[in-house]
Amino acid sequence: MTDNETRPLDEAAQAELKGVPEELIDSAGNGEELAKLREELEAAKQDILYAKAETQNLRRRMEKDIADTRAYAATGFARDILSVADNLARALESIPADLRDDEKFKNLVAGLEATGREIEKVFAGHGISRIAATGLPLDPHQHQAMMEVPSADAEPGTVLQELQAGYMIKDRLLRPAMVAVAKKPD
């Protein structure tokens, strides 16, 4: 039999061709064109699978971006309001103890303290938390060392004093805590 003559198909090949239009089978001859069509079909299936996977990945990325935008949308405003909270805390710290007990100033002090608690409550409601600093080892991801203080009592690199409070918003740094760090005495 020559290549140009049609050969009878075995049973397996006939089963594969079940449902394939007769004109394709006749024109396929020895099945080369049919094999080419199958390869193209498989390539098209792979392309569709890759496109679906890419679409799903894109959808996941977009959902994460939207969630991040919602979670961290208040970052700029929170940074601005931190200075208000700092000033309120400084005002409370500057009131002498004798004025705190004075009847004329008791209500003022109580009002300022209530305002401070309200700010902390609003911060907590928006995922803003104060960074612990004093007594802990210096963490460059959360603390900014402003000065070193010689100390025989504390281990070098330990935060001795918090100069300005630091804050996190969810799991991101909003503002580092500015601290004084212990060093070996001279």
Residue 149 located in a structural domain = yes
pLDDT in tens, the chain (186 residues): 444 444 555 565 565 656 666 665 555 455 788 888 899 999 999 999 999 999 999 999 999 999 888 878 888 888 889 999 999 999 998 988 888 888 888 888 889 999 999 999 999 988 899 998 898 988 899 998 998 988 888 888 889 989 999 999 988 899 999 999 998 887
Write phi, then psi, for 143 (nearest 5 degrees). Answer: -120, 145
| pTM over 0.95, yes/no | no
Give how many domains the chain has, as a whole number.
3
Residue range(s) defining the domain that contains residue 161: 130-183
Query: Helices marked H in the chain — which ranges?
Result: 11-16, 22-28, 32-72, 75-94, 97-101, 103-125
By CB neighbour count within 10 A (0-12 exposed, 13-18 middle, 19+ buried), where does 166 fall?
buried
Residue 160 located in a structural domain = yes
